[in-house]
A and B are shown apart, each in its own frame.
Chain A
Amino acid sequence: MSELENKTENGSTESAGECASGETKDDKGLGLGVIFFIVAFVVCFLSGTLLFPKLLYSKKEQPFNFDHELHVSEAGDCDACHSYRDDGTFTGIPKLATCLDCHTDEPLGETEDEAIFAEEYVANEKEVPWLVYSRQPDCVFFSHAAHTIKAGNDCKTCHGPIAESTSSRPYEENRLTGYSRDIWGKNIFGIKKHSWDRMKMDDCAECHKKETGHQGYCFQCHK
């Protein structure tokens, strides 16, 4: 063993001894640091996951409750109310005139919602200011006819089992962008279980890739 190595060995022994004494002292600090780390991590993670969405989205109630299930059973399938015009464009949320095909200013049912509809809207010939959960940003062009009549998708593929709902859930509006929460999806991580859970551009591309073999070009939707 060389002198140098001996020195090093000695040196290291010495320093190891110092370190050992230091570790004992620092262990407490590190332990506390770890606890602080974990607490801060957990608090921030939970805030970002649970509190943040509550701050980001404001909740708005629909003008009155709408029972899709009842309407489907009384009026028929989706296209009984959500129809296509002669030129192929989609009417979306029906106008008051469509409602008046069946309704009058005399309530048809006995619910409070029916009374609101008849008194506030039908009697005053005022359109119902429905909040549209599925409204895409203005920069997106979307043709319902191409996706349903041409491609044969059913409404549920994108809109989910809305036809089975008996009441209107609150509309959640993104305070920053002003768009509906349904575009990003209920899950704040953006994880989806069903095809209708999210409706971001990637979701369009994913389905296009699967169905047509290509994710599509920019100008197909962003005209």
Chain B
Amino acid sequence: MKVDRRSFLGLGIGAVAGIAVSPVGLKLMDDSSILTQTTKLWPWALDHDPLDGEIIYENSVCSLCPGACGISVRKIDDRPIKIEGLADYPVNDGGACLHGIAGLQYLYDPARIKTPLKKNGDKFEEISWEDAIALVAGKLGDVRKSGATEKLACITDKDQGSVSGLFQRLLAAFGSPNFYTMPSLESYLEITAAAIHGEGKTIAFDLENSDFVLSFGAGVIEGWGSPVACFKANATRKERHAKLYQIEPRLSNTAANADKWIPVKPGTEADLALGLCAAILKGNMFDSMATSRITGGFNKLAAMLAKDYSAAKTAQITGVKEADIMKLAKAFAKAKMPVAVFGKGRGDGAQSLKEMAAVQTLNILVGNINKKGGVFVQNKTEYLEFPEVTKDSVAEAGTSKARLGRYVDQLIEKINASSNPAVEALLVYNANPCYSLRDTKRVKQAMAKVPFVVSFSSFLDETAMEADIILPSHTFIERLEDVPSMAGLSKTVVGLTKPVISPIFDTKDPGDAVIMIAKALDEAVAGNFEWESYEECLEAVTAGIWDSLSEDGYAVISEGVPTGSQAVNIGFLAGSPETIQAQGDFDLTLIPIDNMRLVSGAAAASPFAVKTLADTVLKGKDIVVEMNPLTAKGLKDCSKATLTTPMGSAKVLINLNEGIMPGVIGMVEGLGHTFDNKYVSNKGVNVNDLIGPVLESGSGLDAAFGIKAKITKA
């Protein structure tokens, strides 16, 4: 027998036939098809594997913005999976905004600070909590020993809530009057209330019952106030046959949704409000009962309005037609439950007291104060019962000294103007002034001039980058805190944020961090902080409402129309405060735009929220500015351009849009972050880099509604 070609052929065919008859082919084909569906082939999808386990819902309160919505967190075993709005919660009743539902992304944010950090040269190095607290207490101890205890300052987001209360207590016991909050709608409501109705008051708007909402630029469906509560109030507008008139230079989403959009030249909203007041007075359409209660300034104001704010003059200033002003005044005054709302955009940016007071005067004239569907003026929410601070002589002397500035802007100015450090140590909690205050360069400069900056941030954001030491806080998913609803909501609700997951990094509750610092200081300070933990402190200081907080998750402090009349004094307006002018000499005016999909507060928008931006806002990494074609000066839609203001310049893309008044450039606020988060940072520019503060005389507020700008082809 000879092995020849045929033998090999037989061998080959035999092998093929053997394999073919065996299950190899069928099995491999089946497995390959399954393989294509597994994460083995697509390892990036690994994190998206559905988890298997018990599904649990835990209720908490979102503290990402002052809205303070109730949330229901869906968990599988111990891991939170999704955030939804909590049904029947008195603020949002099941609703949620896109920032709230994406709240879990903050837990795993790439910029999260995982452990206390200490700056060494330009870099941060990790240190233990013990060392970090000892370091902070050591530095603060030195300041206290020096006797100049007023040189400890603190910047937080708000002055309400127990965590803010602990910071205020630390400063009081330490001996410093320098506690500051970032501008917020709540602070503007209090400032306006203080100017007209007296100190310790605040203002709320009964939007859900009003039949005529006259909004002076308030982004009612774009994040103003308590966003979800506002969405809900707006959603029922049609059923209630209520009207919304929107006054602002740009066709915002709120303006597009309103019954009428009244374009007004930027910065002349106060003049329009005063013009409307003048028309109401002239037409004898005011509520004489209400005006009789005005204790100061009414006659003077009436004379000033008659002289300077005739419909013709107002039309000239604001760009709104004379006839429209008259019609609007009539419609507002004749409405059954009218309400005029102030706070441009989200209401937390720069605002002028003149404008806010003028709008509030409109409310006063039509007699809607403390009426259903009108404006509620009532005492500031006080539900915390901190024991009185025991001060030693050093603290007494320190706290009786004058504050370095009225508001945070003046503090920054003072620090920059002093040759010796005006502030020796600065505590920053839940605030990002290096990003959200106007002219960020000056804020960073001030931070650099403070010898010792302590940040309590959860994220290595622009301000934390400037800190000397960072004591990282838990995110709102991981911590306990009382969260009062604020921001102009017609009812006051205090919610309880509860930890729904054990902290994933070596972070602490900011309340615990403050207590630890205080305890490490001398006995006079430490004696004021006898609680073992923040949890114990919270339970003690909320004793009056703790039962409902812990059982129901919230406590309603006030609801419904407040009773009793309020003092009214419009002397501030009668003094003819000057109107703010935009800084610079260029022809165009750059104004910031507040977009619901972005935020400009302490935290940056989540990756999810940034992804939802339209490419008329952010295209790739370029910010898109809105311009009217009439003043585009040859610039084409989608073309590249350079935007220049007295503060600096930036590369932008052009969006030609007839929904913005000629001569105005709109740039979204909330982009241009520079910290290490690839999903959110280095996209677009920060509008606060391009706009400088303009302080209003009298109120001291940064009231820069915009800045003069020019735009050239790039």
**Which A-chain residue is minimally distant from B31 (CB atoms)?**
A176
- Residues of chain B within 8 A (CB-CB) of A137 are 34, 37-38
Chain A residues, CB < 8 A from B40: 176-178
Are B17 and A29 closer than 8 Å at their CB atoms? no
Contact of B331 with A by CB under 8 A:
no
Picked from B10, B23, B35, B38, the residue with its CB within 8 Å of the CB of A40 is B10
Q: Does A35 contact B (CB under 8 A)?
A: yes
Q: Could you say which of A86-94, A106-114, A209-217 contacts chain B?
A: A86-94
Smallest CB gap from A141: residue in B: B50
Q: A32-B2, A41-B15, A179-B34 are in contact. Are A48 and B24 (CB under 8 A)?
A: yes
Partner of B37, one of A32, A36, A44, A139: A139
B289 at the interface (CB under 8 A from A): no
Name the contact of A52 in the complex, choosing from B1, B23, B32 (C-beta under 8 A).
B23
A137 and B40 alpha carbons, distance in the complex (Å): 12
Residue of B at shortest CB range from A183? Answer: B34
Chain B residue nearest to A35 (CB atoms) is B10
Q: Is the CB of A85 within 8 A of B54?
A: yes
- Report the bound CA distance from A40 to B14 in whole Å: 5
Q: Is A99 an interface residue (CB 8 A)?
A: no
- Give the docked Cα–Cα distance between A100 and B15 (Å): 56
Closest A residue by C-beta to B24: A48
Question: Is the pair B6, A43 in contact by a Cβ cutoff of 8 Å?
Answer: no
CB of B23 within 8 A of CB of A37, answer no
Is residue B648 within 8 Å, beta carbon to beta carbon, of the partner chain? no
Are the CB atoms of A36 and B11 closer together than 8 Å? yes
Counting chain B residues whose Cβ lies within 8 A of the other chain, the interface size class is 35 or more
| A188–B32 alpha-carbon span in the complex (Å) | 16
Interface residue? B13 (CB, 8 A): yes
Contact with A along B621-664 (1 / 0, CB 8 A): 00000000000000000000000000000000000000000000
A129 vs chain B, min Cβ distance (A)? 14
What's the least CB distance linking B324 to chain A, in Å? Answer: 55
Task: List, in ascending order, chain B residues with CB within 8 A of A177's CB.
Answer: 31, 34-35, 38, 40
Is B393 engaged at the interface, CB distance under 8 Å to the other chain?
no
A19: CB under 8 A from chain B? no
Main secondary structure of the interface of B (DSSP, over half): helix
CB distance from A10 to the nearest CB of B (A): 30
B365 to chain A, nearest CB (A): 57
CA distance A147 to B26 in the complex (A): 30
Interface residues of A in 10-47 (CB under 8 A from B): 26, 28-47
Interface size class of A (residues with CB under 8 A): 35 or more
Do residues A48 and B7 form an inter-chain contact, with CB atoms below 8 A?
no
B23 and A188: CB pair below 8 A?
yes
- Rounded to whole angstroms, the CA-CA distance of A28 and B14 in the bound complex is 18
Q: Is the CB of B18 within 8 A of A44?
A: yes
B12 an interface residue at 8 Å Cβ cutoff?
A: yes
Interface centre among A29, A92, A174 (most CB of B within 10 A): A29
Is B47 close to A, CB under 8 A?
Answer: no
User: Within the complex, what minimum Cβ distance (angstroms) separates B629 from chain A?
Assistant: 48
Contacts of B18 in A (CB 8 A): 40-48
* Cβ < 8 Å to A, chain B residues 4-54: 4, 6-19, 21-24, 26-28, 30-32, 34-35, 37-40, 49-50, 52, 54
* Distance of A55 from chain B, by nearest CB (Å): 10
In the assembled complex, which residues on chain A have CB atoms less than 8 Å from the CB atom of B7?
29, 32-33, 36
Say yes or no for A80: interface residue by CB 8 A criterion.
no
Report the nearest A residue to B18, measured CB to CB: A44
Considering the chains assembled together, what is the distance between the CA atoms of A40 and B13 in angstroms?
8
| A93 CA to B1 CA, complexed, in Å | 64
17 A-B pairs with CB atoms under 8 Å apart are: A30-B6, A31-B1, A32-B6, A33-B11, A34-B10, A39-B14, A42-B14, A42-B18, A43-B18, A44-B14, A46-B22, A47-B18, A49-B22, A49-B23, A137-B38, A184-B30, A190-B23
Query: Which A residues form the contact surface with B (CB < 8 A)?
Result: 26, 28-49, 52, 56, 85, 87, 89, 91-92, 137-139, 174, 176-179, 184, 188-190
- Which B residues have a C-beta under 8 Å from some C-beta of A? 1-4, 6-19, 21-24, 26-28, 30-32, 34-35, 37-40, 49-50, 52, 54-55
A-B pairs, 4 with minimum CB distance: A48-B22, A44-B18, A40-B14, A33-B10
In the complex, besides A37-B14, A40-B11, A41-B15, 7 extra interface pairs with C-beta distance below 8 angstroms are A32-B3, A38-B14, A45-B22, A46-B22, A89-B55, A92-B52, A184-B30
